[in-house]
Structure formats: structure tokens, C-alpha cells
Amino acid sequence: MSAYPQALAEHLSRDVTTVCNCWRMTRVDGQVTGYTDHDRTLRFDGTSFEPESGFSASEARKTIGLAVDTVDIEGALSSALISDDDVAAGLYDRAKVETFLVDWREPGNFAWLRTATIGKITRSDQRFVAELESMTHALDQPNGRYVTRSCDAELGDARCKFLLTRPGYGGTGTVMTLDGADTIVVSGLEAFEAGWFSHGVLTWTGGARAGRTDRVDDHRCDMRGIVLMLRPGNGVAIGSGDSFSIKAGCDKTFATCKAKFSNSLNFRGFPHLPGNDAAYGYVTEGGQFDGRPVVP
């Protein structure tokens, strides 16, 4: 815990104190909001901290060393600042949360306590509980690359280098009907063959989901028309007439990278990596040992 400013330290030494907790949340999209467990709005450090969220905190613990510390914060989903749909859509995942101890009579008299990121979020009965993970949590995560046959780059990123703005690799459409929560029948993609957008990214440009993205698990054509199966989610419901843009998908295999995108020079996997059968194999009479790739 950081050292308290002199004024706040003197205040805490009194028999009666007027302090409260405040949280400043910065989402990954850059939106900044403030919350407090006090009953009035507090303003300090360039942020307005609102009481309507009903935030409350659990017991906090900070340990010495590299142990991962956690603390829970609880809030109401009925707040004007936090909605159930936004939480379900993952807008608060990995958000940064700064915790302050504040003298509510003199809001400029505050101390920064800790910075954490939101981990697991549990929702029930129109309330949510978010687990705040300390910054050392990042040291407990796998880092670096995995040696696999499939590509580990995202289509169109700086490592892939493929330009998705090329003609034929994107389109726009409109939802005609829904067949379940995550299966939609669409129009506007008639010029593309089935499977072209499988594993692609769909961005909503109209409707309740405007501005959000979904991953496409499958793109097919059947008696219903052009069907897109989206990765299951719990966000805002899709409606007929919602518009979207969509980018071609990649299944991360070398064959697709070469045939569909002509981008084999930038493939970020190891397509000739031998499998377990080759790794545990042994020399046999009459075998081929001329140095050619084990995996063609």
C-alpha cells in the first residue's frame, strides 16, 4: 500500500474519521467512470465518482512477494452507468480499476491504494461481483509463442500483414431472420461462396449491437438462405433489419493461408512440425530418410 499524504495520515489518527472508498474504472475501449460507496458524488483527480452504482468492497489483502492478491467489488446492474448487456458483452473484461481512500469532506485529500484488473465477473439477481486481480497476476499467465502447426497471428494484424481491405475479402449485409440466439439468416452476401466468412469477424453497424463485434463460427448456404452461425454470447439480442460489415475468415492452416490469401510467406505457424507418431518413430528397414519434410 502506498504511503498516505500527511493530511490524510493526520485525519486517520483521529478518533472519528470521514473516509470512504472510491474506484476509477478504465475500460479497454478507453471509457473512464468513477464510483464510490459514499452517498454523494465526489470529484477529485479529474474524475467524478458517482454513488448510484451501489459499489461495495470486500476485505482486501496485500501480501509480500509475487503472490496474486484479489479483492471483490459488488455493484448493482440497475445503475445508469453499468448495464447487464454491457457486462455480458465483455466490455468490462480486463478493465483497469484504481482504488482510492478519500476524505469525503475534503475530496482533494485522498490516497491511491492499489491498481488492479477485472478478472472473473459473476452476475445474479440484477447484481454483479467482479474479482479484482493485482498487477502481479500478469506474471502468472503464459507468455511467448507456442510451436504448433497452426498460425498464431490474427488475420490482418501486423504479423499477418494481409490487407483485409482488398476487394473480395469483405462485405456488408442485413439480418433477415433469426434461427436461435446466435444463428442469423442474412442478405447481401450472395456473391460469396459458402465458408468464405467462417472464422471471420462481423461488426455491427446498425441495431442494438451497433459498434460491437462477433466471431463467425460458420458460414453456409441452405434452404433458409445465407446463414451465419455466431460464437455464442450473452450480449444484446440481435434484431431483424440489423446491419453489419464482415471480413473473410481464416482457419489458421497453411493450406488456407496459401490458397485463400496467397500469404504463405507470412504464415506464423510451423506447418512441417512432426506429430507424435513421427516423434516416437524409429528407423525401419526400407524407410525413406532423404531429408524431405515429414509433413507435406
> Is position 27 within any domain?
yes
> Is position 110 within any domain?
yes
> Is position 267 within any domain?
no
> Is position 260 within any domain?
no
> Is position 147 within any domain?
no
Count CB atoms within 10 A of the CB of residue 182: 15
- How do 47-50 and 96-103 pair as beta strands? unpaired
- The total of structural domains in the chain comes to 2
Question: For the CA atoms of the chain, what is the radius of gyration?
Answer: 26
Clarify whether residues 24 and 116 are in a common domain: yes
Clarify whether residues 90 and 47 are in a common domain: yes
Residues 6+ apart with CB under 8 A from 77: 83, 84, 87, 123, 126, 127, 128
Clarify whether residues 72 and 177 are in a common domain: no
Supply the pLDDT for residue 68: 45
CB 295 within 8 A of CB 271: yes
pLDDT along the chain (296 residues), means of 10: 79 91 87 87 92 56 47 49 73 85 93 83 70 70 81 93 93 92 92 95 91 92 92 80 95 94 94 76 74 65
> Is position 231 within any domain?
yes
Clarify whether residues 132 and 216 are in a common domain: no
Clarify whether residues 34 and 135 are in a common domain: yes
Which cell numbers in the block locate residue 110?
Answer: 485522498
Against a cut of 0.75, is the pTM above it? no
Clarify whether residues 23 and 118 are in a common domain: yes
Supply the pLDDT for residue 76: 44
Q: Report in angstroms the alpha-carbon separations of 252 from 110, 160, 163, 268.
A: 50, 11, 16, 9
- How do 32-36 and 110-124 pair as beta strands? unpaired
> Is position 47 within any domain?
yes
What letter would DSSP give residue 186? E
Range of the domain at 184: 170-247
Supply the pLDDT for residue 296: 57
Clarify whether residues 130 and 179 are in a common domain: no
Clarify whether residues 13 and 95 are in a common domain: yes
3-class DSSP assignment, residue 104:
coil
Which cell numbers in the block locate residue 241?
Answer: 433489419
- Domain at 16, CATH number: 2.30.110
Number of residues that make up the chain:
296
Q: If we measure between CA atoms, which residue out of 21, 198, 160 comes closest to residue 99?
A: 21
> Is position 224 within any domain?
yes
What letter would DSSP give residue 264? G
- What does the alpha-carbon distance between residue 111 and residue 1 come to, in Å, rounded to a whole number? 10
Count CB atoms within 10 A of the CB of residue 26: 16
